[in-house]
Structure 1
């Protein structure tokens, strides 16, 4: 059984000669100490350092009794708990959870671990603050009705006040979210809410601090089917052969787009985090950032560095972090560069991430590779075959074959003006004969 007692620690004397009254909670031969709002001086203590001031004792007893009452609510569960768990329960029992404070702390942890979701979760936090008009939002305020009203708020254009570091606040107009954007935003909000429940609820001990679950009644808007992101061979060649100024964002976008194409659709964040240690025996080996924390194999993949990729690997791997302080900065630079390329070449709304879709589509539709092999190249996992995958050793040469087949489609095509000659040598030969003078 846990015991609760108020006491003063003699060696914790403050510079003004006072002592903070501590609450000691002991359980299973382990003790932990909690600070209180009560302070006493040496005159208010007896020779044994016990509090002798009756007024202070009355106040301290209220605090002790409150903690004892909280512990009493645990009933038989207390035998299964550690002293630290009891202290955590006593400190937080009946305390409202500030959802914004929790979410910011979670994002800070993700940033330290270099995990995914930092930027999207931060966007959700900022949007909630805008919606409520305050920084403190209790999790009990996140209800099904609130989510429905919040959804309508997100669909409409909004005036937002923002402030960059070292600048004055400014107002910007944010357009309403698309159906796809709304789905992603509410999905991320649900993700934050689920993390909060996992953090504050302990179903094994029956400690449930977040009782409600608004996403049971509120259903996320369905994600609309996105148009397939694909280009024909000539359009990819336009990107590959686009002339750029050295060091420009267009050059960066062109090179990394093609590097992703050559390397099985690798994401820019993975290129950003790589260094020379990821290059081993002519292969690029890494753990995909987007899913490494969700898989037993940590989303490890090994891809052959084909000839076309070698100069780009040498040019960018291990150097992107010196050029961009964050992966968001890299993404923004690539986005700007791709926009200029598609304007110059009159291409559709192609972005860097189309490279991943293009290489997958070509592998399946042009090269007739199986969907399983394409999925392996994309580093995807078939949820229905997880158990089977445990028993099968991965053979990276399968990816090599898919990669090689796709690369062959454009391998022998040099500058676009030479394409016709390269593809139709017989036609060009006959043309040269027809131009010869007759004897």
Structure 2
């Protein structure tokens, strides 16, 4: 238990004759002597340098009671604190909680760089977009944490949900301004999730709740009421649309061919993502084993999965795996080409397969993954948990699971039966 008392020392006497009363804090065998707001002279002390002024003694006794009460409120947290920590906790004034005022914009860009260096593309791009839009809204290069209130975030919401101008630098260094449409409720929820991630990172760095040190006290999200996101739109397409993509006649070397091939690869390989196709450079035997990039850093098993290299996929695997990163300099450029290819393939299908309703069903790359999952569950009758395993979704590890050596047979059966639907 930490103990406290006041003490005046003769050697602390200043040139003007005043002496600062020290608060003596003893904890874990260490003493610290922080200054207080009390200054006295030798007239207020006995020859043994003990306090004799009754008014002063009354003030100090009251303060000691308050300090001891605050120490008692620490409970188990006190065990992790040093004597210096206790001093900081006791003497911090209410206004000191905001004494560390962090520039949200500057911190955010540093956070973006860390995420980019760690290869977390989705997070760094999301937060980069939030920082750019927030700067557009505030018209400020610096926005400090104390200024970020629920009212400010409501204003940010209104700004984003209406058409707004956006000025950005192009790859050639030139600035371009365009009018952006207002975002949906679902998109704004995503914006706030990225915003909150940065704000929480600041609080985690500068606050220490375990020791009662709260340098950044405000938390604007408590009062911010957000509309619930509507149910996610299903992206699966009918199986005959997948057949139409597979059989579509496209020009060799075109982005339409790229989309067609990569889409079918994803469907054949249980919904593999484009980023993982880009990163896989070495395949041995009849299986494709890899760690799913989206979740490998979040899971104990590093999101490892092994997919069978079935005959339907073999030619495409040999054509693209290990060669994509030679054709495209980066994952974003590869993804951009896939996006462009989906648009071009749609135009070809509108002519070659006019019976398809291409307005009702969106032809994007992720439709392959969603369609694979939908057909596995609804047509082939596999359980949701088995389909989730085939998609390499994260699932809580149960005790029994830790006993069982993983076997890829179930995934192979799902893959075989879904691909058979294209026959």
TM over 0.5: yes
Structure 2 distance, partners of 1:380, 1:386, is 15
Match of 2:324 among 305, 320, 324: 320
Structure 1 distance, partners of 2:393, 2:375, is 17
Structure-2 change in CA distance of 1:162 and 1:401 (3 Å): same
Aligned residues: 325
Q: CA deviation at 1:387?
A: 4.8
Q: CA deviation at 1:266?
A: 1.0
Q: In structure 2, what is the equivalent of residue 164 of structure 1?
A: 170
Match of 2:213 among 203, 207, 215: 207
Q: In structure 2, what is the equivalent of residue 310 of structure 1?
A: 314
3-state secondary structure, aligned to 2:81: helix
Q: CA deviation at 1:323?
A: 2.4
1:343-365 deviations in whole A, cap 9, x for unaligned? Answer: 32132322101111100000011
Match of 1:288 among 288, 292, 295: 292
In the alignment, is the contact (CA less than 8 A) between 1:257 and 1:355 conserved in 2? yes
3-state secondary structure, aligned to 1:154: helix
Q: In structure 2, what is the equivalent of residue 332 of structure 1?
A: 336
Q: CA deviation at 1:93?
A: 9.0
Range 367-376 or range 96-105, more displaced: 96-105
Structure 2 distance, partners of 1:306, 1:358, is 18
Q: In structure 2, what is the equivalent of residue 44 of structure 1?
A: none
Structure 2 distance, partners of 1:79, 1:304, is 61
3-state secondary structure, aligned to 2:209: coil
Given the alignment of the two structures, is residue 392 of structure 1 paired with residue 404 of structure 2, yes or no?
yes
Q: CA deviation at 1:386?
A: 4.6
Match of 1:173 among 172, 179, 190: 179
Structure-2 change in CA distance of 1:281 and 1:110 (3 Å): same
Structure 2 distance, partners of 1:226, 1:363, is 19
Match of 1:361 among 374, 380, 384: 374
Structure-2 change in CA distance of 1:96 and 1:252 (3 Å): same
Runs of at least 4 residues of structure 1 off by over 4 A? 385-388
Structure 2 distance, partners of 1:291, 1:215, is 27
Q: CA deviation at 1:313?
A: 1.4
3-state secondary structure, aligned to 2:311: coil
Q: CA deviation at 1:142?
A: 2.1
Match of 1:371 among 380, 384, 387: 384
In the alignment, is the contact (CA less than 8 A) between 2:162 and 2:181 conserved in 1? yes
Structure 1 distance, partners of 2:226, 2:101, is 26
In the alignment, is the contact (CA less than 8 A) between 1:264 and 1:359 conserved in 2? yes
Structure 2 distance, partners of 1:400, 1:272, is 23
Q: In structure 2, what is the equivalent of residue 216 of structure 1?
A: 222
3-state secondary structure, aligned to 1:293: coil
Given the alignment of the two structures, is residue 109 of structure 1 paired with residue 121 of structure 2, yes or no?
no
1:86-106 deviations in whole A, cap 9, x for unaligned? Answer: xxxxxx993421111111111
In the alignment, is the contact (CA less than 8 A) between 1:187 and 1:220 conserved in 2? no
Q: In structure 2, what is the equivalent of residue 409 of structure 1?
A: 421
3-state secondary structure, aligned to 1:247: coil
Unmatched 5+ stretches in structure 1: 1-74, 82-91, 413-439
TM-score using structure 2 length: 0.72
Given the alignment of the two structures, is residue 250 of structure 1 paired with residue 256 of structure 2, yes or no?
yes
Structure-2 change in CA distance of 1:238 and 1:137 (3 Å): same
1:276-303 deviations in whole A, cap 9, x for unaligned? Answer: 1xx2432111211221222111211111
Structure 2 distance, partners of 1:306, 1:272, is 19
Greater RCO (CA < 8 Å, at least 6 residues apart): 2
In the alignment, is the contact (CA less than 8 A) between 2:259 and 2:338 conserved in 1? yes
1:309-343 deviations in whole A, cap 9, x for unaligned? Answer: 11111111222222223222222111111112123
Structure 2 distance, partners of 1:79, 1:391, is 47
In the alignment, is the contact (CA less than 8 A) between 2:98 and 2:216 conserved in 1? no
3-state secondary structure, aligned to 1:209: coil
Superposed, 1:107-186 pairs within 5 Å as 107-115=112-120, 116-186=122-192
Structure-2 change in CA distance of 1:203 and 1:366 (3 Å): same
In the alignment, is the contact (CA less than 8 A) between 1:98 and 1:136 conserved in 2? yes
Q: CA deviation at 1:176?
A: 0.9
Structure-2 change in CA distance of 1:195 and 1:286 (3 Å): farther
Range 312-321 or range 160-169, more displaced: 160-169
1:95-145 deviations in whole A, cap 9, x for unaligned? Answer: 421111111111111111112412111111111111111221112222211
Q: CA deviation at 1:388?
A: 4.7
Structure 1 distance, partners of 2:325, 2:84, is 48
Q: In structure 1, what is the equivalent of residue 194 of structure 2?
A: 188
